[in-house]
Structure 1
Amino acid sequence: MSYNPDADLEVRVRKATERISENMHIVANEPSLAFYRLQEHVRKALNPMVDRRVDVDKLQVELQGSCYDMEYAASAIKSMQNSDESFKNIKENLKNAIFLKQQLKYEESRRKKSESNSVYKRLSVHITLDLPELPELSDVVRETANRVENIMNKATSSGNTLSSSKE
């Protein structure tokens, strides 16, 4: 009996054995190839990743400092909003002080008597305020001066009317 193998069957068997051989070779070398690829990836990616991590940490510290500064600035602005009433009181007190100073100067200039015991003279000697020029209050000063002049003119004219009616 002669054995005649089928040519087609022989080709299939060879292909199958080659594939099995390749698979055995890949399976045998796969763990070392995988570790090599992992090591190569880590070597390439680790340094830039560490550098970025350091940069992120620096930025986080800077950001936290900026947040503290912003919170401090916000609280300062809130406290300034509450000081609005104080500034209004200061402004009113300055207006009153300027008005009173103008009245004293006017009264002093109008006095023709030179009494050494005069209350106004004693008071004006002690009041030596040099008020700074405040451009925003110049209109208030001008208005106050006009009011004082009008009051004094009315007082003078009513005094003249009274004195002429007495005669």
Structure 2
Amino acid sequence: MSADSDLDIKVKKSTERISENMHIVANEPSLAFYRLQEHVRKALNPMVDRKMEVQKLHTELVGRIYDMEYAISAVKSIEEMEKTYKSIQDNLKSCIFLRQQLKYEESRKKKPETNSMYKRLSAHITIDLPEITSDMADVMRETANRVEHIISKSTHTNSNNQ
């Protein structure tokens, strides 16, 4: 009986394992789909956010690449203008030199100042004047106005006579 009981025990264990495996295999797809659904639900929103962030960064990168290409072309065009800048610099140096020559010639051609007696005298006289008061300033203003009025009146009468 021992061979039969051993055989019975082995058959029972085998059938239990087969039954258990059948149960696992039968429920495995639904469990797998549940796990997939759970994973997708948890991972989808962050993935969408990341995708939107990557698209935004891509747009910014394209703009910056365009800016860099534009800057590089500007620098290259500046490098190509080196001869022109050199010519401008040479012309400026020439202009400065010619202007200095003109100033020198003008200073040589200036008429010597007439050294009148009054100029020589005024150079030696130093007078300490007290501060001009507002009354004196008013008198000077009034006198200047009168002189201007007389001059304008005389020019007006001279133009009418002619």
Q: Which amino acid aligns with 2:55?
A: D
| TM-score, scaled to structure 1 | 0.61
Q: Which residue of 1 aligns with 2:18?
A: 20
Q: Report Cα offsets for 1:37-79 as digits up to 9, x if no partner.
A: 1111111111111111011101101111110111011011111
Structure 1 segment 94-105 matched on structure 2, within 5 A = 94-105=92-103
Alignment of 1:37 onto 2:35:
yes
Partner Cα distance (1:39, 1:18) in 2: 31
- For the pair shown, the structure with the greater C-alpha radius of gyration is 2
Partner Cα distance (1:81, 1:96) in 2: 24
Q: Which residue of 2 aligns with 1:6?
A: 4
Partner Cα distance (2:86, 2:68) in 1: 28
Shift of 1:89: 1.0
Shift of 1:82: 1.2
Alignment of 1:92 onto 2:110:
no
Q: Which residue of 2 aligns with 1:58?
A: 56
Which runs of 4 or more aligned residues in structure 1 lie more than 6 Å from their structure 2 counterparts after TM superposition? none
Q: Which amino acid aligns with 2:9?
A: V
Higher relative CO (Cα under 8 Å, sequence separation at least 6) belongs to 1
Q: Give secondary structure in 1 for the equivalent of 2:72.
A: helix
Q: How many residues align?
A: 112
Alignment of 1:80 onto 2:78:
yes
Across the aligned residues of Structure 1 and Structure 2, the Cα RMSD in angstroms comes to: 2.1
Change (3 A) 1:13 1:112: closer
Q: Which amino acid aligns with 1:17?
A: T
| TM-score, scaled to structure 2 | 0.63
What is the percent sequence identity of the aligned residues?
68
Deviates more, 1:43-52 or 1:4-13: 4-13
Partner Cα distance (1:112, 1:27) in 2: 118
Q: Which amino acid aligns with 2:69?
A: E
Partner Cα distance (1:21, 1:92) in 2: 101
Partner Cα distance (1:71, 1:15) in 2: 75
